[in-house]
Amino acid sequence: MAQRTLIIVKPDGVQRGLVGEILGRFERRGLKLIGLKLMAVDRSLAETHYAVHKEKPFFADLIEFITAAPVVCAVVEGPEAIAVVRMLVGATKFTEAAPGSIRGDFALDLTMNLIHASDAPDTAEKEVELFFQPDELLDYTRDGDRWVTSG
């Protein structure tokens, strides 16, 4: 059964010109891109998205950062997509991110760590709904998918 998950290439990833490199890693792994958009995150959306961190001392910095410049939001789909995406993204703390992961290869800051990825199925569902309308997600067959998994 395929899972869906949200990925946000944060302002630093967009500003550094890494969108293609970052999204390409998910596609090369075999995940299917089903939604994609460049957007500005307004304060209200940012506060809703990061509500779980509202009482933490870094909340204001998160809001300021994610609203500072455009982001690229994507929804990918595939077997165990959430776990696969999290592995490709790497640990939140850049010094703990494995070489070969996105953060392990490109991040040098805790806040400016290039990418957000949903961490669990319920979170993924809520985050996808927060950033995408149902008609912005496409259900389609890729001819090459039969060469990615046996299922």
Point out the residues that are catalytic: 116
Other beta carbons within 10 Å of 83? 13
Let me know if 122 is exposed, middle or buried by CB neighbors in 10 A (0-12, 13-18, 19+).
exposed
Tell me, what DSSP letter sits at residue 55? T
Residues in Cβ contact with 139 at an 8 Å cutoff, skipping those fewer than 6 apart = 34
Tell me how many degrees the CA angle 57-124-93 measures, rounded to the nearest 5.
40
